[in-house]
Chain A
Amino acid sequence: EVQLVESGGGLVQPGGSLRLSCVASGLTLSLYEMNWVRQAPGKGLEWVSYISSDGSGIYYADSVRGRFTISRDDAKNSLYLQANSLRVEDTAIYYCATNARLDFWGRGTLVTVSS
C-alpha cells in the first residue's frame, strides 16, 4: 500500500522557519516527481512547489519563491520543504503528492504562523 506521511508542522512566529518532511512507503520515491500543495483554513488548494524525479527540475509558486526550498533524499525515501521567513498567510495544511497529476497524497501537516 502506498503511503505518504508528512511531518514537521507546528506553530511558528512570523519570520520563523520550519522544515517539513514527507516519508514515502510502498513506493520508490526516486521514480517519482513530487510536489507540495497547501490549503489555508477554509480555502482552496494552492500548488507550492515541484521537484523532478532526478532533482534537476524545480519550480515554485510566486508566493513562496525565494523563501521556500524543496529537496529530496531518495536514500531515505523522503521529500522536504524548508520554509523560511514565514508569514501569517503561509498558515495552511501542507500536503505532499506524487507526479504532475498528483495521484497520491499524504494526509498533510498543519503549519500555523502566528505571534
Chain B
Amino acid sequence: EIVLTQSPGTLSLSPGDRVTLSCRASHTIGNTYLAWYQQKPGQAPRLLIYGASTRATGIPDRFTGSGSGTDFSLTISSLEPEDFAVYYCQQYYNSPRTFGQGTNVEI
C-alpha cells in the first residue's frame, strides 16, 4: 500500500498569500497518477489537479500541481476567500487507492 503523507496539517493564512502544500508518497507513483482535491465543509470533494499537474475543467490557473516519483506539491499563487478549505492528495496508480490525511488551509 502506498502511504501518502501531507504537510503541514494546518496552515493559517490570509487572502493574497501564496501557499505550497506537500504530499510525499512511501513508494514511487508511476506515470504521475496523483490527484489533488479541495473539500469545503458540508460539500463533496472537488477534483483540482490530476496527473500531478493537469488542472481539471474549470479550475483557475492560480492552482498549480507539480512533482513526480514520491514528492508532489500543490501551489495556490494568491489565496482567494473561497480557497480556504481542506486539500487532499490521492494516488490512483495502484490498489488500494489511498488519500493523504489532508491539509486544512484556514484564515
The answer, yes or no, to whether B95 is at the interface (CB within 8 Å) is yes
Q: Kindly state the interface size class of chain B when it binds its partner.
A: 20 to 34
Q: A44-B99, A59-B97, A101-B47 are in contact. List 18 more A-B contacts (CB 8 A).
A: A44-B100, A45-B37, A45-B88, A45-B90, A47-B97, A47-B99, A59-B96, A95-B44, A100-B33, A100-B92, A101-B33, A102-B37, A102-B45, A102-B92, A103-B47, A103-B50, A105-B44, A105-B45
Supposing A44-B88, A45-B45 touch, asked if A103 and B97 sit within 8 A by C-beta, the answer is no
The answer, yes or no, to whether A78 is at the interface (CB within 8 Å) is no
Tell me what chain B mostly uses at the interface: helix, strand, loop, or mixed. Answer: loop
Supposing A100-B92, A101-B35, A101-B50 touch, asked if A45 and B44 sit within 8 A by C-beta, the answer is no
The answer, yes or no, to whether B46 is at the interface (CB within 8 Å) is yes
Task: List, in ascending order, chain B residues with CB within 8 A of A95's CB.
Answer: 44-45
Q: State in angstroms the CA–CA spacing of A62 and B96 once bound together.
A: 8
Task: List, in ascending order, chain B residues with CB within 8 A of A60's CB.
Answer: 96
Chain B residues in the interface with A (C-beta under 8 A):
33, 35, 37, 39, 44-47, 50-51, 56, 88, 90, 92, 95-102
Supposing A45-B88, A103-B47 touch, asked if A50 and B95 sit within 8 A by C-beta, the answer is yes
Q: Are B101 and A50 in contact (CB under 8 A)?
A: no
Task: List, in ascending order, chain B residues with CB within 8 A of A73's CB.
Answer: none
Q: State in angstroms the CA–CA spacing of A95 and B101 once bound together.
A: 17
> Can you give 29 A-B contacts (C-beta < 8 A)?
A44-B88, A44-B99, A44-B100, A44-B101, A44-B102, A45-B45, A45-B88, A45-B102, A46-B99, A47-B90, A47-B96, A47-B98, A50-B95, A59-B97, A60-B96, A95-B44, A95-B45, A100-B33, A100-B92, A100-B97, A101-B33, A101-B35, A101-B50, A101-B51, A102-B37, A102-B92, A103-B50, A105-B44, A108-B44
